[in-house]
Structure 1
């Protein structure tokens, strides 16, 4: 058993991967023998990810606020505190805060054997994100 009491500093989400103000708190990242990655992600109103996918899928658990999630080819879905979202392996998607509220979620992924967790694509177009 290992208890972590000191975490890495909160990082700003890079502009290449996020639209708007997003902050990332790493909760767990590759303990020896594990490929589990977990982040607490804080989105300002209207902030969201670019299109992306994960080799082994992703679990999102909304802790507070309201958000949006969309898979490529599907409709935009509303999510709110208490909701859990499973995103299939290699499914292109985006997620973030609703236009007028903050949203925080836990994001859990399993790294591929080469250590990668995410493949990033283009930003979500203004016409696709609701105002």
Structure 2
């Protein structure tokens, strides 16, 4: 009977250790759930921090539309930029920011749909503590794709007004 109790105690101990390891493993995982592959790291001249892009719909003369996925690591953001025909963002996970030049910075989160008007300077990216996953749609690409501008300053990124 004593040996039987020792075996049960050993099994409970192993189970507890395994559960603790699983909790630690889960808490170390990223704060967003990826839908698409991470893709290619965006160029440092267009982003502060790391942003990964994955193309979903390549540009062609039938649809004249680009669509892809971008994952911004916590704190990462795009430079200010302009899309000649505008841009639509669908936030699929995480928390981040979007700002149109001259307007207050907006907090964006999973489920939000953002319309960036044509020829309007704007930026978007993740919050400091949570990554951001977004789909981007660029319509009417025959008008142009993007004009990259200067980086978003730390003051602009941190300013909620």
Interval of TM-score (by shorter of Structure 1 and Structure 2)? 0.7 to 0.9
Number of residue pairs aligned between Structure 1 and Structure 2: 124
1:127 equivalent in structure 2: 155
Q: TM-score, normalised by structure 2?
A: 0.72
Q: Which of 59, 82, 86 does residue 53 from structure 1 map onto?
A: 82
Q: After superposition, where does 1:98-109 map in structure 2 within 5 Å?
A: 98-109=127-138
RMSD: 2.0
**Which structure has greater strand proportion?**
1
Extract unaligned runs of 5+ from structure 1.
1-6
Higher RCO (C-alpha 8 Å, min separation 6): 1
1:87 equivalent in structure 2: 116
1:4 equivalent in structure 2: none
Extract unaligned runs of 5+ from structure 2.
1-35
Which structure has the larger Rg over C-alpha atoms? 2
